[in-house]
Structure 1
Amino acid sequence: MASREQDQSLVFQAASSYGVNCQADLGEETPNRRVIPCFGWHPWFSHMIYDDTNISADITIDKDFKINHYKSVLTPSPEDVTFIESLPNPRSLKAFLQETKTYLEAFPTALVGEIGLDKSFRIPLKWSSENECSRNSDITPGTREGRCLSQYRVHMYHQKAVFRAQLLLAAEMKRPVSVHGVQAHGAVFDTFQDLWKDYKKQSRSNRKKTIPQKKSQETLTTVKETLTPYPPRICLHAYSGPVEFLKQYLDPKIPADVYFSFCALLNLPTDKVIEVIKAVPENRILVESDFDKASDDMDQLLEKMCRRICDNKQWSLEKGVEILGNNWRRFIFS
């Protein structure tokens, strides 16, 4: 799953060698086809993008543009020019979306992710000489790598712009999304709400009232449904929101299928996850590792979370694994 500038091409390379093109690829005949790629820009790196989606003219990325960009998207607005100079030149959102679309076209099962909103994250300080000496060359560049955090956060308006643009791309390509939300559960829901507010499903009684319509209106409705501006399936990754938010996402009028995923690393240290897991419908729960290495550790983390879900749902392990597997296949391939 991609998250920033440096790993988009790496995900592409992995998918080119091991990518799953259809559900049939998961069979025993194709044991090397086991990668579902995800392409997206994580909110932790959203400041490295400038929003040019509504600008037709070419933009020159000079020193002044870079300074003005970071001053406008970071809060508090940084006055330390040396700090701004240590940041990479921002990348065009429009160009990134086009690149991502190309990747999605290459891989029919690819998702958009990890994308979302994060109110708590602060960007790291610039590299010191001491940090530089201790950098791990085996790690994909772009992460914190032990640096202390600065006081700067990314303005929510900018995070929302980057998030929304990727949701619209997922909608256009009819792809599922993996969504990160930390201390921003309301803002994430509001972003979705804004996209699907005119497309909510009608209740049965309302459908009966509106059946006698002109053919032209039916045609318009068909076109509208085809061009829906929201992704068809949504996974709220490592869901940490309260039980109350489940009700909003599970409203029968919501036109997208929303799934809730849990992982041992992030969810199990908290007791509140027990009630949330119990409240998630059987057909909308997923499990994940949120681990960055394909290893026995990843398998153990998945098993740990599966067992906890089965305990909380009062399922046998066999039944739980079957349910979780069916949910995953439906989320990916429906």
Structure 2
Amino acid sequence: MDSELKEMQAVLADVPRSVLKHVIDVHCHPTDSDMGATLQVVEEMPIRICAMATRRSDQRLVADLARAQPEKVIPCFGYHPWFAHWIALEPVASKEEHYRALFLPPAPPPKQELVDAFDRLLPYLPQPTPLAEILPELFESLEAFPDAMLGEVGIDRACRIPYARPAEPPYSDYASNGGTDSPRELSPFTIPLEHQLLVLEAQLGVAVELQRNVSLHSVKAQGMTGEFFDRVYKKYGERWLRISVDLHSCGLSAQSFRDISKRHPNVFLSLSTVINSRSPAHKELIAACSPDRLLVESDFHDIRYSAPYTWNMLRTVADVKGWHVEDIWDADVPEAEWGAVRRLEENWKAFERGGHKPYVRRKLRRDRAIEEWEANNEESD
């Protein structure tokens, strides 16, 4: 990966800072790495970033980074679906009761191998935190920063719980083969989707109340994500459209995103080199996405990768969409001549503003003709 980084940095070195200061990495995890090194790089980097929190122990780190570099860091507070099982929806008598209810429901009776796996996993799991404590803290964090977003939150059908104790920051030290529990072995348990959705919906309620935008994780959950959006739209109505939602490192099919975007004018997508370039389908997704709904990101934990990885994805978007990439910055350019940097910056501004208009479904010519015929006949009666 170091050689890849050097190649991207070499490309980036030729781009004027006057252009790069208009680039936004809309999703990254800089507090997962050493904070001293991160602060130094953020101070020198030319772009802006949206820094994600994922669990209780990194909310403060994101806040500290945003306070240190308020011009470059947009803080994002929230609880990632990978850690949703650490949250108790209701008061519980014990840690074991909470996790047993999630992973070993009584009906049908669990197989002995699952019981054995649970007994092995339980000592690694933390004491659950009540949702009633999480939500006021989340509310307070978002209120402390007028530009803060909710993130990273979402749904994940693929994540399995590791036989490993929760790591302390910096989390990048605890990658798949790092940390004190190396190598990590995965248990057979996944986090029940109903539990994930309840944790997500509770957090989203705070975002709607405070009118804050959202960075959302969706893995192996295309249909469920669309259904979730439909449900919250029905619940909140116009208030849902006041905020924007970014499907980050979006892995939806082109058709799935088209379907969601038609029903939800507040949903954007962002793509990252580190995740999306693994599949050639990401270019089809870029091609299918409306040009005013696209954003770019690095989705990386090492802040040194943020600018080069985000720029790399920007160039991919430009190539697919047939946009030129600016090599100088001119403040007065007509919209017809906008390049990729300006287009994506304008998309970000629209995302930040929120306040989206509901789609008005146009009536088909046949439907209009029927209505006119019925009206004429009513008048003749």
Query: For this structure pair, what is the TM-score category when the shorter chain's length is used for normalisation?
Result: 0.7 to 0.9
Shift of 1:85: 2.5
Q: Calculate percent identity across the aligned residue pairs.
A: 33
**Larger deviation, residues 42-51 vs 319-328:** 319-328
The CA RMSD measured in Å over matched residues stands at 2.4
2:80 maps to 1:42:
yes
TM-score, normalization by structure 1: 0.77
- Within the candidate set 58, 74, 86, 2:103 is matched to 74
Asked if 1:324 is matched to 2:338, the reply is no
Is structure 2 residue 140 aligned with structure 1 residue 99? no
User: Would you say how many aligned residue pairs link Structure 1 and Structure 2?
Assistant: 277
Cα 1:143–1:70 change in 2 (3 A) is farther
Q: Which residue type is aligned with residue 296 of structure 2? A: V
CA distance in 2, matches of 1:13, 1:333: 25
Give the superposition deviation at 1:282: 0.9
| Rounded Cα–Cα distance in structure 2 between residues aligned with 1:259 and 1:229 | 14
2:322 maps to amino acid? Q
Deviation, 1:249, is: 2.0
* Contact preservation (8 Å) 1:75, 1:154: no
Residues 142 and 69 of structure 1: is their aligned pair in 2 closer, same or farther, counting only changes over 3 Å? farther
Q: Which runs of 5+ in 1 are unaligned?
A: 20-32, 53-58, 201-224
Deviation track 1:89-125 (CA, whole Å, cap 9, x = no partner) reads: 0011121111010011110100001000000010111
What is the alpha-carbon distance in structure 1 between the residues aligned to residue 242 and residue 119 of structure 2?
39
Q: Secondary structure at the match of 1:152?
A: strand
Q: Note if contact 1:168-1:229 (Cα within 8 Å) is conserved in structure 2.
A: no
Q: Residues 159 and 231 of structure 1: is their aligned pair in 2 closer, same or farther, counting only changes over 3 Å?
A: farther
1:234 aligns with 2:245: yes
The structure-2 alpha-carbon separation of the partners of 1:156 and 1:270, relative to structure 1 and needing over 3 Å to count, comes to same
> Which residue identity is paired with 2:53?
A
User: Which amino acid in the other structure matches residue 276 of structure 1?
Assistant: L
Contact 1:67 1:81 in 2 (8 A): no
Q: 1:244 to 1:140 in 2, by over 3 A?
A: closer
Using the TM superposition, give the Cα deviation of residue 17 of structure 1 relative to its aligned residue in structure 2, in angstroms: 2.2
- SS across alignment from 1:150: strand
- Give the whole-Å Cα distance in 2 for the aligned partners of 1:115 and 1:240: 15
Deviations 1:9-67 (A, max 9, x none): 11111122223xxxxxxxxxxxxx21100000000000000113xxxxxx4x65xx211
Q: Does 1:288 align with 2:297?
A: yes
Using the TM superposition, give the Cα deviation of residue 302 of structure 1 relative to its aligned residue in structure 2, in angstroms. 1.1
User: Quick one: distance in 1 between partners of 2:310 and 2:122?
Assistant: 40
Asked whether the equivalents of residues 47 and 74 of structure 1 are also in contact (C-alpha less than 8 Å), the reply is no
Contact 2:77-2:149 at 8 Å conserved across structures? yes
Supply the AA of the counterpart residue of 2:99: Y
Shift of 1:136: 9.1
SS at match of 1:315: coil
| One of 58, 67, 71 as aligned partner of 1:7 | 58
Paired position in structure 2 for 1:261: 270
The two structures have a TM-score, normalised by structure 2, of 0.68
On the 8 A contact 1:167/1:231 being kept in 2, the answer is no
Q: Which residue of the partner structure matches residue 308 of structure 2?
A: 300
**Considering only CA atoms, is the larger Rg found in Structure 1 or Structure 2?**
2
Q: Residues 198-213 of structure 1 correspond to what in structure 2 (within 5 A)?
A: none
User: What is the CA distance between 1:197 and its match in structure 2?
Assistant: 2.5
Aligned counterpart for 1:121 among listed residues 159, 179, 188 = 159
Aligned to 1:36, what secondary structure does the other structure show?
strand
Partners of 1:92 and 1:230 in 2: CA distance:
29
Deviation string 1:235-284 (CA, Å, 9 cap, x unpaired) is: 00011111111222222x53x51101000001112111111100111110
In the TM superposition, what are the counterparts of 1:104-183 in structure 2 within 5 Å? 104-126=142-164, 138-139=170-171, 145=178, 146-183=183-220
Q: 1:95 to 1:141 in 2, by over 3 A?
A: farther
Q: 1:231 to 1:150 in 2, by over 3 A?
A: farther
Once the two structures are superposed, residues 102-157 of structure 1 have per-residue CA deviations (whole angstroms, 9 ceiling, x without a partner) of 01111010000100000001011135xxxx9xx89754788764412111100011
Runs of 5+ consecutive residues of structure 2 not aligned to the other structure: 1-51, 327-338, 355-381
Deviation at 1:187, TM superposition (A): 1.0
